[in-house]
């Protein structure tokens, strides 16, 4: 049975899951949902109601990083698993994401959470000043587990972001945004409804 992926196009967690699935070339049935009207089948599989959710036979994986690891365990042709910096990914998913949410969704003066999150970005800029990717000379798991959240931060106030002295981080983000892979995982799909023809992701070349 083809694994089923419930996803929402703009969610950075769902985006990184799709990135790893695309890199693995493992086919899934993609089901694009609306967050305001979540399908019963998804909620039955994962009652917490967040995306992404991957259903593999009787197994349900509803954490995005775990979905990345599942996909790459099936097939890792680009060697993404060669570089997995759990400390850096954990900082992204923890301190940085908390500050990012306060910056993006906060009311009034959000300079404090913006600055808290910026501390992490400065660290990334230093790493990227010495190598092209967080994983070294090629894209790897660490990069793709983090980059969708950096993109979300940048898009809160793009004028401010691009005015910051983070040339290496900005180059890294812009290279990702210009990539064919990013274009593939951001393709728009119709909302999934029961009975509709299945959508295979990634699409066959």
For 1-13, write each residue's pLDDT tens digit. 999 999 999 999 9
Residues 193 and 148 in one domain: no
- For residue 148, give the nearest of 19, 30, 51 by alpha carbon: 19
**DSSP track, 117-150:** HHHHHHHHHHHHTTSSBTTBSS--HHHHHHHHHH
Q: Which residue has the tokens 């990013």?
A: 182
Q: What is the rounded CA–CA span in Å between residue 11 and residue 193?
A: 19
Full-model pTM: 0.97
Q: What is the pLDDT of residues 172-183, one digit of tens each?
A: 999 999 999 999
What pLDDT was estimated at residue 56? Answer: 98
Q: What is the mean pLDDT of residues 94-122?
A: 97
| C-alpha R_g of the chain | 17
Q: What is the mean pLDDT of residues 93-109?
A: 97
8 burial type by CB count under 10 A (0-12 exposed, 13-18 middle, 19+ buried): middle
Q: What is the rounded CA–CA span in Å between residue 48 and residue 64?
A: 13
At residue 59, the 3 state secondary structure works out as: strand
Q: Are strands 4-7 and 28-32 parallel, antiparallel or unpaired?
A: parallel
User: Tokens for 9?
Assistant: 């196009």
Q: What is the pLDDT of residues 56-70, one digit of tens each?
A: 999 999 999 999 999
Residues 72 and 109 in one domain: no
**Domains in the chain: how many in total?**
2
Q: 108 is in which domain, residue-wise?
A: 80-179
Tell me the CATH number at 197.
Answer: 3.40.30.10
pLDDT tier for residue 203 given thresholds of 50, 70 and 90: confident
Residues 132 and 161 in one domain: yes
Residues 85 and 172 in one domain: yes
What rounded mean pLDDT belongs to the chain?
Answer: 97
At residue 91, the 3 state secondary structure works out as: helix
pLDDT tier for residue 204 given thresholds of 50, 70 and 90: low
At residue 28, the 3 state secondary structure works out as: strand
Q: What is the pLDDT of residues 67-89, one digit of tens each?
A: 999 999 999 999 999 999 999 99
Residues 85 and 137 in one domain: yes
pLDDT at 205 over 60: no
Q: What is the mean pLDDT of residues 99-114?
A: 97
């Amino acid at each position: 049975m083809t694994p089923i992926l419930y996803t929402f196009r703009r969610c950075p967690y769902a985006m990184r899951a799709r990135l790893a699935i695309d890199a693995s070339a493992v086919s899934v049935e993609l089901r694009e949902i609306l967050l305001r009207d979540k399908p019963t089948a998804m909620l039955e599989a994962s009652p917490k109601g967040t995306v992404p959710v991957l259903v593999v036979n009787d197994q349900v994986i509803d954490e995005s990083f775990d979905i990345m690891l599942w996909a790459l365990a099936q097939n890792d042709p680009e060697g993404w698993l060669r570089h997995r910096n759990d400390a850096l990914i954990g900082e992204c998913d923890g301190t940085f994401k908390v500050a990012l949410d306060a910056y993006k969704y906060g009311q009034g003066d959000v300079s404090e959470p913006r600055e808290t999150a910026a501390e992490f970005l400065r660290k990334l800029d230093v790493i990227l000043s010495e190598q092209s990717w967080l994983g070294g000379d090629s894209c790897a798991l660490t990069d793709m587990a983090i980059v969708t959240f950096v993109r979300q931060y940048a898009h809160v106030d793009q004028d401010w972001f691009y005015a910051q002295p983070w040339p290496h981080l900005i180059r890294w983000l812009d290279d990702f945004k210009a990539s064919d892979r990013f274009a593939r995982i951001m393709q728009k799909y119709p909302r999934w409804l029961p009975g509709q023809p299945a959508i295979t992701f990634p699409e066959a070349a």
